[in-house]
Chains A and B, each alone.
Chain A
Amino acid sequence: MPSSDLFLEVGLSHYLVLSAILFVAGMAGVLLRRNAIVILMSVELMLNAVNLSFVAFSHYMGQMDGQIMVFFVMTIAAAEVSVGLAILVSIFKRYKEVNIRFFEHLKG
């Protein structure tokens, strides 16, 4: 595939690669950041990346099911954010901290 094609003909793989990079960036955020709020944001980033690939597949394969899935993911993501933030608020009330270090009560 000549290089001009890569830039001039945008197809499914372009969207997928973009989605993959966004997803991996979000994952890096989840793994490496210490601020719990930022971790939540990174999770959102990962979800968005997945949404993007869903819509791209839906578009290029001519099926609506991908978009429905995005719709569901969005709803659940919104729910997840609200609950996650509520948990954060209650933890913050207790420790005055949002460092992920304070979540280590799950220790076995």
Chain B
Amino acid sequence: MSHQTLMAILILSPLVGFLINGFRYKKHSAELSGSIATGAAVISFIAALLMVIDLIGLPPEERKIIVHFFDWIAVDRLKISAGFTIDQISAIMVLVVTGVGSLIHLFSIGYMHHDKGVAKYFAYLNLFLFNMLLLVLGDNLLVMFVGWEGVGLCSYLLIGFWFTDKEKAAAGMKAFVTNRIGDAAFLLGMFVLFLTFGTLNFQEINHMVPTTSELTWLAPITLATLFLFIGATGKSAQIPLYVWLPDAMAGPTPVSALIHAATMVTAGVYMIIRLNPLFLAAPNTMAIIAGIGGLTAVMAASIGMTQWDIKKVLAYSTVSQLGYMFLACGVGAFGAALFHLMTHAFFKALMFLGSGSVIHAMHEEQDIRKMGGLRKYLPYTHLTFLIGWLAIIGVPPFAGFFSKDEILWQAFHSPRGHWALWAMGALGAVMTAFYMTRLMALTFWGKSRVPKETHPHESPWIMLLPLIVLAILSAVGGWVGIPHVISEILPGQPGNLLETWLEPVIKSVPGVAEGDPTQEWSLMGVSVTLAVISALLAYHFYVRDPSKPKKVAESLGKFYELVYNKYFVDEAYFGWIINPLVSLSKGIWYYIDVNFIDKTTYVVADLVRGGGQFVRGVQNGNIQQYAMYIGLGVVATMTYVLMR
């Protein structure tokens, strides 16, 4: 098959699935709807796999499949084609999106089994996949933006999927509005880029980027990248726009796994990696990205330590891990960011699906205070969750270890890095180990606090299968990016596959020095040791001595309150931004709209009506008078003709 056909199948298959399920949205059969949707996703995955195999067959410098379908917009200088590209970056993304997506589709069949809107649910899920593929594959910013908006829409629809619950509907709206702020900035960034380069095509932009870095703040590239980064903070839940993601947990759990952990939220990171030469040319933006990323990683992790809702913990963990990815982007380690994006997609999807399995078993109970000792009832879920836990806290040789360590090392070592950034990353890693162990301990270990009336049961195989596949990926997924210092001591000395693969498309930071192996080893040792100690501490707190956490929390007093209430960020937004905006709008509505614009239109309307009343007198229904007007007209015309 030609690449054109394959690409069409890859992109359109989820759309067809969406249309089929969309037209039968009232049907209740989870098996049928789910099979259609999962089939569409799997077809997409197979097509993606075939294309990537073709891609590997090409020589490294020419690894790029560009499919041009048609010219979408052609106005003066603005030429946008409906073109799609698979290169080294999007190959990884497209495999993650369709692969993890297919697994989550499969999981949903079991999870959404009893839901009435199951066909609608699968339709949304497929629509999401379609838009995500547009986002990932589009070869220019505008096509990406279409996907970007599309996934936002699907996210809104799926967060508010149980929209009869007011709180859940509100969560959907919050996500939508928060994202809109970011999207506006994204648009502005596109405008600046178009003004500067006259094109929106990724390849062209990346070729045109000047080799010298911009040092001022108001230079076009710095401005454009800053705007794009604000867009990314909206979609990828970074400070200051992260507030929507924890609330987004109102949606069904597989949705949280697919959209709010594995794929959509990484779109911002993906966009930055895609435009890496552009971002490299703006060191100021890079510094901001790194700072925001590190800060988010620490702050979200600290909130995660205090939450009681199993999904909220995972949500803050996602925000924190996304912070890592931005930290990596900010120090110029785009490869590491993509690596972590991939491994995070595996283990976070695994943990979300695991939590879905737990919630399913506990009959929609999400409070971890009412769990505990579930290992007995859910052996397989526990086992897979355990692997996810090991991966996220960075225990070698699980996936998270390699990617996270790469990021930490780069944060320290890169010319754009700083020891403070490394410290933030390490602190985040320590806290991650703590809250994840806490989650494990409270959910699966220790004594059971399950209420007597609930009888937890293991999930069906259709839900366990994706868990197992993802667990395997979480365990071995990191082996594609083994750092040099480790590979040197391994038998056969496996190279860093990922680095070699990405080399042609990722620009390295100028002036990068050769790494010192001793330094790298010691940093690695420090972070792993700290994480393990932190995990053991958490184990001690929550399994051995369950009364301890309370005492610690009390001793911290006000600070604990602050963290527990998520630093009052939502309240601050309401108090300082939303409420003043609302009152300002009300003022404008009353004084400008009602008293000025409306009244002006009333005056105009009255004038017209008065004129109409006057003219109406002429049309009095008296036919003879009408005839008289005709006569007058004739006389006037003839007089004019004769006088001429």
Minimum distance in angstroms from A17 CB to a CB of chain B? 16
- B621 touching A100 by the CB < 8 A rule? no
Q: Is the interface of A mostly helix, strand, loop or mixed?
A: helix
CA A107 to CA B618, docked complex, whole Å: 10
4 A-B pairs with least C-beta separation: A107-B621, A104-B621, A108-B619, A106-B621
Residues 380-400 of chain B, each 1 if its beta carbon lies under 8 Å from chain A, else 0: 000000000000000000000
Residues 490-513 of chain B, each 1 if its beta carbon lies under 8 Å from chain A, else 0: 000000000000000000000000
CA A108 to CA B619, docked complex, whole Å: 6
Q: Could you tell me which residues of chain A, from 1 to 53, have a CB within 8 Å of some CB in chain B?
A: 27, 30-32, 39
In this assembly, does A103 line the interface, its C-beta being within 8 Å of a C-beta of chain B? yes
CA A105 to CA B623, docked complex, whole Å: 10
CA A39 to CA B627, docked complex, whole Å: 11
- Take A27-B631, A31-B631 as given contacts and tell me if A100 and B620 are in contact as well, using a CB distance cutoff of 8 Å: no
Chain B residues within CB distance 8 Å of chain A = 616, 619-624, 627-628, 631
CA A100 to CA B620, docked complex, whole Å: 13
- B619 touching A107 by the CB < 8 A rule? yes
Minimum distance in angstroms from B31 CB to a CB of chain A? 68
CA A108 to CA B622, docked complex, whole Å: 10
Q: Could you tell me which residues of chain A, from 78 to 108, have a CB within 8 Å of some CB in chain B?
A: 100, 103-108
- B623 touching A106 by the CB < 8 A rule? yes
Minimum distance in angstroms from B441 CB to a CB of chain A? 85
- B631 touching A103 by the CB < 8 A rule? no
Closest to A30 in B: B627
- A103 touching B620 by the CB < 8 A rule? no
- A103 touching B623 by the CB < 8 A rule? yes
Q: Which residues of B contact A100 (CB under 8 A)?
A: 622-624
CA A105 to CA B620, docked complex, whole Å: 9
Q: Could you tell me which residues of chain A, from 59 to 91, have a CB within 8 Å of some CB in chain B?
A: none
CA A23 to CA B96, docked complex, whole Å: 93
CA A103 to CA B627, docked complex, whole Å: 13
- A103 touching B628 by the CB < 8 A rule? no
Closest to A105 in B: B621
Q: Indicate which residue in B619, B620, B621, B627 contacts A31 across the interface (CB closer than 8 Å).
A: B627
Closest to B622 in A: A104
Minimum distance in angstroms from A106 CB to a CB of chain B? 5
- B631 touching A104 by the CB < 8 A rule? no
Q: Which residues of B contact A27 (CB under 8 A)?
A: 631
Minimum distance in angstroms from A5 CB to a CB of chain B? 25
In the complex, 24 of the A-B residue pairs with CB atoms within 8 angstroms, ordered by the A residue number, are A27-B631, A30-B624, A30-B627, A31-B628, A31-B631, A39-B624, A100-B622, A100-B623, A100-B624, A103-B621, A103-B623, A104-B620, A104-B621, A104-B622, A104-B623, A105-B621, A106-B621, A106-B623, A107-B619, A107-B620, A107-B621, A108-B616, A108-B620, A108-B621
CA A106 to CA B622, docked complex, whole Å: 8
Q: How many A-B residue pairs have CB under 8 A?
A: 28
Minimum distance in angstroms from B642 CB to a CB of chain A? 14
Q: Which residues of A contact B620 (CB under 8 A)?
A: 104, 107-108
Q: Which residues of A contact B623 (CB under 8 A)?
A: 100, 103-104, 106
Q: Is the interface of B mostly helix, strand, loop or mixed?
A: helix
Chain A residues within CB distance 8 Å of chain B = 27, 30-32, 39, 100, 103-108
Q: Which residues of B contact A106 (CB under 8 A)?
A: 621, 623
Closest to A34 in B: B624
CA A105 to CA B624, docked complex, whole Å: 13
CA A31 to CA B628, docked complex, whole Å: 7
Closest to A39 in B: B624
CA A23 to CA B624, docked complex, whole Å: 17
Q: Which residues of A contact B624 (CB under 8 A)?
A: 30-32, 39, 100
Residue of B619, B623, B628 with most partner-chain A CB within 10 A: B623
Besides A104-B620, A107-B620, 10 other A-B contacts (C-beta < 8 A): A27-B631, A30-B627, A31-B627, A31-B628, A39-B624, A104-B622, A106-B623, A107-B619, A108-B616, A108-B620
Minimum distance in angstroms from A58 CB to a CB of chain B? 23
Minimum distance in angstroms from B630 CB to a CB of chain A? 9
Q: Which residues of A contact B631 (CB under 8 A)?
A: 27, 31
Minimum distance in angstroms from B615 CB to a CB of chain A? 9
CA A32 to CA B619, docked complex, whole Å: 18
CA A105 to CA B622, docked complex, whole Å: 9
Closest to B626 in A: A106
Q: Which residues of A contact B621 (CB under 8 A)?
A: 103-108
CA A39 to CA B624, docked complex, whole Å: 10
Minimum distance in angstroms from B611 CB to a CB of chain A? 14
Closest to A101 in B: B622
Q: Which residues of B contact A39 (CB under 8 A)?
A: 624
CA A103 to CA B620, docked complex, whole Å: 11
CA A30 to CA B624, docked complex, whole Å: 7
Q: Which residues of A contact B622 (CB under 8 A)?
A: 100, 104
CA A36 to CA B505, docked complex, whole Å: 93
Minimum distance in angstroms from B320 CB to a CB of chain A? 74
Q: Which residues of B contact A107 (CB under 8 A)?
A: 619-621
Minimum distance in angstroms from B401 CB to a CB of chain A? 87
Q: Which residues of B contact A32 (CB under 8 A)?
A: 624
Q: Which residues of A contact B616 (CB under 8 A)?
A: 108
Minimum distance in angstroms from A43 CB to a CB of chain B? 10
CA A107 to CA B617, docked complex, whole Å: 9
Minimum distance in angstroms from A44 CB to a CB of chain B? 15
CA A96 to CA B608, docked complex, whole Å: 40
CA A77 to CA B265, docked complex, whole Å: 82
CA A104 to CA B624, docked complex, whole Å: 10
CA A39 to CA B626, docked complex, whole Å: 14
Minimum distance in angstroms from B139 CB to a CB of chain A? 63
Minimum distance in angstroms from A39 CB to a CB of chain B? 8
Closest to B615 in A: A108
CA A30 to CA B631, docked complex, whole Å: 11
Minimum distance in angstroms from B632 CB to a CB of chain A? 11
CA A30 to CA B622, docked complex, whole Å: 12
Minimum distance in angstroms from A97 CB to a CB of chain B? 15
Q: Which residues of B contact A103 (CB under 8 A)?
A: 621, 623
Minimum distance in angstroms from B246 CB to a CB of chain A? 65
Closest to A28 in B: B631
Q: Which residues of A contact B619 (CB under 8 A)?
A: 107-108
Minimum distance in angstroms from A101 CB to a CB of chain B? 8
Minimum distance in angstroms from A41 CB to a CB of chain B? 15
Q: Which residues of B contact A104 (CB under 8 A)?
A: 620-623
Closest to A108 in B: B619
Closest to A32 in B: B624
Residue of B616, B619, B624 with most partner-chain A CB within 10 A: B624
CA A15 to CA B636, docked complex, whole Å: 25
Minimum distance in angstroms from B535 CB to a CB of chain A? 88
CA A46 to CA B619, docked complex, whole Å: 25
CA A103 to CA B624, docked complex, whole Å: 10
Closest to A104 in B: B621
